[in-house]
Structure 1
Amino acid sequence: MFTRDINVDGFGALNIHYVHKKSKTVDAIPLLFCHGWPGSFLEIRPVLSLLTASSPEHPSFHVVALSLPGFGFSEGAHKPGFGLDQYAEVTHKLMIALGYNEYVTQGGDWGFLITRRMAAKYGGKHCKAWHTNFPMADPPTWKSPLSFLSYLLTPFSAEEKAGLERTAWYRNKSSGYFVEQSTFPQTLAYGLLIAPLLCLVGFTKKLVIWTDDYKWTDDEALTWISIYWFSRAGPGAAHRILLLRCRTSYPTIPMGASYSHKSSFFYPQHRRWLRSSHHKSGGHFAAYERPKRAC
């Protein structure tokens, strides 16, 4: 693990924490792994040796997994206005600073939005391809007549109906945190700072219900939660990312996408207009829960 100062336009230098493991394969592909909330750089740990392994059966990677600004061991921004462009700038400049002028990315949760913005801003010259386990896409419109008619006329399958039910469950039963954190994140931050038990209960609940029957050990759960509790920027700083207002980016570089059975919310009908792999097991933290499948 390392830290490095990254200069962000208009925000000065931020000290960024990251994991960097190189493959023994000299021409391995540089890969940036970008987490979201309530995850961290720890999500890369189960797949790190698999990704860097030299094998004739699959590509080998030089892996970089950072703590996003305001998360864990990375410094947070010191003034308002730090948005999606700045998150993308930090992650891109980190790869360049490590000598990776060309690279690929993988992102889930907020990492999806950040790597999508990277693909749009730096795609072609620097970012060559991107993959997400948290794909989000708008449905087709009349501008694509055949896709639009297919969307309107094709009945939902049983699997898609089950996915829509899970989406409804998420919105009605599991998205209250999003409303609070995207409107009054500092109010919640005071509570987390004063009451460690609130931090423990809140995060543990997400770890359990957003995974597919993953058996968290006490040490695992406490380690994940401690990264937020002992965050350099404070236990509530990471919530500020939900203040982002994200305009849509349209990358043109190659993209890969996959769904897991118990993602935090699940839009199976997306597969009608967004090609993706569907995994019948796993949840929100795909690489951590099912490392061999993820690779």
Structure 2
Amino acid sequence: MMADIKPYTIAVDDQRLKDLKTRLSLAKFPDELDDSGWDMGSPLADVKRLSKYWLETYDWRKAEKELNKLPHFVTDIQCDGFEPLAIHFIHVRSEVKGAIPLLFIHGWPGHFEEVLKVLRPLTEGGDGVKYPAFDVVAPSLPNFGFSEGPKKRGFALEQYAETVNKLMLKLGYNEYVTQGGDWGWGISRTLAHLFSKHCKATHLNMDSANPPEFLKNPLLAIQHALTPYNAREKHGVTRCAWFDKEGRGYNLEQCTKPQTIGYALADSPVALLGWIYEKLHDWTDSYPWTDDEVCTWISIYWFSTAGPAASSRIYYESNHNVDGRMDKMDKERMRTWSPGVKLGFSHFPMDIYVLPSTWVRTLGNVVFEKEHDGGGHFATWERPDDIVTDVREMFGKGGGAFGVVKGATGYTS
């Protein structure tokens, strides 16, 4: 390990804890219509209950102690044209020789904590024989968690991809695979286009793609035109329509005016709670969030190194990037064929986009695909067993991405 990769301990100082308690104690809540529901946003009763719990009962020090049981590190990564950033990450090396390097990439409103439930089974593997083992690297993306954020404009998907690619190279992984959803999807797709020499395969738990076109994808276009949608795909039409009509308000704000919403997120823990808790509810499949889970989730944003407002900038920058190699076509290029990088998809019915298989197969060589009967956007948190099983199947013996990383099959024999 290089000398400038240092162990990291999460240690929020007492003054910041006191400041949080003060702000929570002074919270002013809006009123609510008598027949208001989740369709209008985070309900008043829920936010009041969680705010009170956060203030009076929740123990950050206990959560901090649990998080610190994991091997945390920090190291400086510099993207071309930007200042060096101290990047926080979890890194667990498997005891299985030849484990597959796996880069776990979170999204918004998630963070590195999303890897916790899949970390142990993926790194332990199956005694080096039954199923593959992985070395897992789970960074806090720049502007998220305990990583620093840039002070210059223009830090878009290209730079996020460059950051995590340089991190993996610094750790000695010249080739690796990725797993992710949300922005983990976008960054994985960017890696596939810009760094395919190093990123050899991606497993994704979010659908995002364009429909096949006869000039670009003739066989898929014919299949799409002639094959009726199955039950999952029919449900997906309704789910996508709901999200586009009722669920994208946050996206439009963060894509266009992140500074404006930033004042509320930086000043008010209740505003931050309401802003993110809505997504924890709406984007999951009736997942039974405990108050402790929610408070830890939101606290990581509140105590983040770059501040709770910084994470929203990825939306703006990735929609206004004009100078990078991905240029104005950022999102459209992510939805084009990426040669040489094998793809796998796990479909969960309550994700924000649920698309037909013919659509996602326009992105590249899809070697794994599985439909699940439950689960939503935060798949590694809601359905960790499904993610572990799918990743093992994709990269294990007989899987479509077996042996994709030279010298790392995940098995001892």
Alignment TM-score, normalising by the size of structure 2? 0.68
CA contact (8 A) 2:160 2:187 kept: yes
- 1:277 deviation in Å? 1.4
Query: CA 1:273–1:87 in structure 2 vs 1: closer, same or farther (change >3 Å)?
Result: closer
Deviations 1:185-240 (A, max 9, x none): 01000011222211111211111111111111111111111111112111111001
Deviations 1:129-176 (A, max 9, x none): 111111322211122334323323444344422211111111111111
* 1:133 and 2:205 are equivalent in the alignment: yes
Deviations 1:58-88 (A, max 9, x none): 1100000000000111000110011111101
* 1:70 and 2:157 are equivalent in the alignment: no
AA matched with 1:121: L
Report the more deviating stretch, 87-96 or 249-258.
249-258
Match of 1:80 in 2: 153
Please give the residue correspondences for 1:1-295 in structure 2 after superposition, counting only pairs within 5 Å: 1-55=72-126, 56-123=129-196, 125-143=197-215, 144-243=217-316, 244-245=318-319, 246-247=330-331, 248-249=333-334, 250-252=337-339, 253-268=341-356, 270=358, 273=361, 276-295=369-388
CA contact (8 A) 2:204 2:346 kept: yes
Deviations 1:242-291 (A, max 9, x none): 11132414422111111111112222354684653111111101111111
Secondary structure of 1:281's counterpart equals coil
Match of 2:47 in 1: none
Report the more deviating stretch, 44-53 or 186-195.
186-195
Residue ranges of structure 1 left out of the alignment (5+ in a row): none
- 1:89 deviation in Å? 0.6
* Aligned counterparts of 2:264 and 2:211: Cα–Cα separation in 1: 39
- 1:104 deviation in Å? 0.9
Secondary structure of 1:258's counterpart equals strand
Query: CA 1:158–1:105 in structure 2 vs 1: closer, same or farther (change >3 Å)?
Result: closer
* Aligned counterparts of 2:359 and 2:195: Cα–Cα separation in 1: 26
AA matched with 1:83: A
Which structure carries more strand by proportion?
Answer: 1
Report the more deviating stretch, 234-243 or 128-137.
128-137
Identity of aligned residues (%): 48
Secondary structure of 2:201's counterpart equals strand
* Aligned counterparts of 2:277 and 2:209: Cα–Cα separation in 1: 29
Deviations 1:84-113 (A, max 9, x none): 111011000001111111111112101111
Equivalences, count: 294
Alignment TM-score, normalising by the size of structure 1? 0.95
CA contact (8 A) 1:24 1:54 kept: no
Secondary structure of 2:262's counterpart equals helix
CA contact (8 A) 2:144 2:310 kept: yes
* Aligned counterparts of 1:13 and 1:133: Cα–Cα separation in 2: 31
Across the aligned residues of Structure 1 and Structure 2, the Cα RMSD in angstroms comes to 1.6
Report the more deviating stretch, 154-163 or 112-121.
154-163
AA matched with 1:235: P
AA matched with 2:153: P
* Aligned counterparts of 2:358 and 2:109: Cα–Cα separation in 1: 24
Query: CA 1:203–1:159 in structure 2 vs 1: closer, same or farther (change >3 Å)?
Result: same
Please say which structure displays the higher CA radius of gyration: 2
